[in-house]
Amino acid sequence: MQKDHLIRLKTWFDTYTRSFLTGETLSDSPLVLKIEHTARVCDNICHLGRSIDLTGGRMRIAEAVGLFHDVGRFVQYHRYRTFNDRESVNHASLGINVLNEAAVLDTLPGDEKDMIADAIRFHNAPALPENKPPGSMVFMRLIRDADKLDIWKVFADCYRHHQRLEPAIVQHLPDLPTWNDNILNAITDKRIARFQDMKSLNDFKLLQLSWVFDLYFPETIIQAKKRGHLAAIARTLPDDRAVRHAVAGVMDQLEEMGITDPK
Ligand SMILES: [Fe+2]
């Protein structure tokens, strides 16, 4: 990707996302959070990209993936007033439609367009497809890691500063003193939990902790440990033996992954 291409994509993203803002703090707040999330995910993906010696055009592709990974969130919220994909539509697919309708990626070479679209399409999928070329896989892996690092930050910062979590960001889940055993079992089995098992805010916290089983790049693991967001989220969970056991499994995984090669 050429430098001027990336500049044009950034300009389009700014204009497009700002077109959803109304000036009303209450209704704009979830969208502003997504704009800020996008900026930090771009920083994260560039940081992870540098850690694997990505340079030049390929680094710019990675940044474009960061820029567009949640582009579907804006029309999703505008139409459905939720970020819950199960109660609306898959925001990754919606993002691809948005980019196609606006022909945003049409001036890029075909292979670059495909790599960006693949990375967006699978950034929130339970698992990655196995039939994609290695050139595409790196961007799919980068965005999944970069996105997780920032989602942990958003939640951990709210808990650290005792701030109210934006209802749309917690997908309107009730803050109940309960949790779903399916999610705890996923953690015990060292796999990522399923969105459809979330019934309460605790389930969302546990689901986020389960994402450590899906991290790929060594630098993501280094950052996850250094930033301390997982521990901050874990501290807000109920003081229960089964929950403590699951959290310990997550922290052990982080330690183990930090001293072994990625899967
Ligand atoms: Fe997303």
Tokens, residue 235: 């501290």
Ligand 1 centre to CA of 50 (Å) is 22
Q: Where would I find the H helices in the chain?
A: 3-18, 25-51, 56-68, 72-80, 91-101, 110-121, 134-160, 181-188, 201-210, 218-227, 229-234, 241-259
Instruction: Report all structural domains of the chain as residue ranges with CATH numbers, in order of start.
Output: 3-146 (1.10.3210), 173-259 (no CATH)
- CA–CA separation, 104 vs 184, rounded Å? 41
- CA–CA separation, 247 vs 122, rounded Å? 27
- Which pLDDT score, from 0 to 100, does residue 72 have? 98
- The residue with tokens 């440990």 is 225
Ligand 1 centre to CA of 181 (Å) is 25
- Which pLDDT score, from 0 to 100, does residue 170 have? 84
Ligand 1 centre to CA of 137 (Å) is 17
Ligand 1 centre to CA of 90 (Å) is 9
- Which pLDDT score, from 0 to 100, does residue 135 have? 87
Ligand 1 centre to CA of 172 (Å) is 17
Closest CA to 211 of 140, 136, 117, 127: 127
Those residues whose beta carbon sits under 5 angstroms from the ion ligand 1 are 70, 124
- Which pLDDT score, from 0 to 100, does residue 78 have? 95
Ligand 1 centre to CA of 24 (Å) is 24
Do 103 and 79 touch, CB atoms closer than 8 A?
no
Ligand 1 centre to CA of 239 (Å) is 30
Burial of 175 (0-12, 13-18, 19+ CB in 10 A): exposed
Ligand 1 centre to CA of 82 (Å) is 13
Closest CA to 67 of 28, 15, 19: 15
- CA–CA separation, 205 vs 223, rounded Å? 19
CB half-sphere exposure, 92, CA atoms < 13 A: 18
Do 153 and 229 touch, CB atoms closer than 8 A?
yes
Ligand 1 centre to CA of 146 (Å) is 11
Tokens, residue 58: 């390929």
Ligand 1 centre to CA of 124 (Å) is 6
- CA–CA separation, 28 vs 207, rounded Å? 27
Residues lower than pLDDT 70 in the chain: 258-263
- Which pLDDT score, from 0 to 100, does residue 259 have? 58
Ligand 1 centre to CA of 243 (Å) is 27
Burial of 10 (0-12, 13-18, 19+ CB in 10 A): middle
